[in-house]
Amino acid sequence: MEDDAAGLSAIVLGAAAGGGFPQWNCGCRLCRLARAGDPRVRPATQASVALSGNGAEWVIVGASPDLRQQILRTPQLWPGAGLRHSPIVAVVLLGADIDAIAGLLTLRERQPFTVYAAPPILTNLRDNPIFGVLDPAIVTLRPFAAGQTLACGAGLELTLLEMPGKLPLYRETPGATIAEPGEGYAARLSAYGRSTLIAPACAQVSLPVRRWLEDVDLVFFDGTLFTDDEMIVAGLGHKTGRRMGHLPISGAGGTLEALSGLAARRILLHINNSNPILLAGSPERRLVEAAGFEIAYDGMEVRA
């Protein structure tokens, strides 16, 4: 960029999957290393990215339960002049799981902004009176269908894209064994002809997904699990990654393979505490880096 003010800026507010890293009740090796302050691992809050096209206002993609903490440590998101102010002009929701929406509860205190989300996500909010704490006279919930494009503030254009995925955990059918028809989305944001795709949950790189990936300069992509059966092998769960709506990084049809050959800068986001790429120097992390991928961390700043 010749002009520092022009361009697309992104700040990773949180790099981790639901529960964060370390997770409150997890005694796995990586969580124990994180609690012990081992320098090979970097604690991470739950996934969220702040974006700006004008350097002054910001759009938050993903309302993580850690949002208060994330704002406090990010000076770009602090209030400007006046008794009450925020440079956050909009929040984009990509799913309705706790780690994707609970941060809205932090954004109370009579501050105007707009929430952009597909209708099924907003229905989830409306089904929970607790979100009424965002007074509709002050905070606008703006239903926004996948495929449309609009100016969402902060000098950015926003498009929502439907992603192969799953229902929020608290609305799953007990007997479901495969990924259900999704309510998960990716966001494409652009400014000054530069663009990014933010996809923290993707169960499959279908042909349309691949085309969207080929069309942007910067990709934040689902880095939840390294292997599809990672949670099962670690004794931490009984579901595969794909069943949870997350393509694994490795293996046939995994992210390294499916995102190979892209021109875009590729950054893995939404990393689960079980994922060995969280450990500096691990073979898995080296493999990912050798394939040309970066691994998001809290506070990472990126320009596109």
> How far is the C-alpha of 293 from the C-alpha of 271, rounded, in Å?
13
> How far is the C-alpha of 300 from the C-alpha of 202, rounded, in Å?
22
Contact yes or no for 63/93 (Cβ under 8 A): yes
> How far is the C-alpha of 223 from the C-alpha of 166, rounded, in Å?
16
Q: Does 108 bind its own copies (CB under 8 A)?
A: yes
Q: Does 139 bind its own copies (CB under 8 A)?
A: no
Number of residues that bind its own copies (CB under 8 A): 53
| Smallest distance, its own copies to C-beta of residue 256, A | 28
| CA nearest to 272, candidates 67, 35, 12, 31 | 31
Compare residues 102 and 277 and give the one whose CB is closer to its own copies: 102
Compare residues 142 and 171 and give the one whose CB is closer to its own copies: 171
- Quote the tokens at residue 73: 């440590």
| CA nearest to 61, candidates 112, 12, 9 | 12
Site string for its own copies, 256-295 (x = CB under 8 A): ----------------------------------------
Q: Does 25 bind its own copies (CB under 8 A)?
A: yes
Q: Does 173 bind its own copies (CB under 8 A)?
A: no
Q: Does 236 bind its own copies (CB under 8 A)?
A: yes
Q: Which residues pair with 191 in a beta bridge?
A: 194
| Smallest distance, its own copies to C-beta of residue 302, A | 23
**Helix, strand, or coil here: 203?**
coil
> How far is the C-alpha of 163 from the C-alpha of 176, rounded, in Å?
19
Compare residues 133 and 150 and give the one whose CB is closer to its own copies: 133
Q: Does 33 bind its own copies (CB under 8 A)?
A: no
- Which of 5, 40, 119, 128 lies at the binding interface for its own copies (CB under 8 A)? 128
Strand 58-61, strand 156-163: pairing:
unpaired
Compare residues 127 and 289 and give the one whose CB is closer to its own copies: 127
Question: Dihedral sign, CA of 74, 80, 85, 87?
Answer: negative
Q: Does 145 bind its own copies (CB under 8 A)?
A: no
Site string for its own copies, 40-79 (x = CB under 8 A): ---x---------------------xxxxx-xx--x-xxx
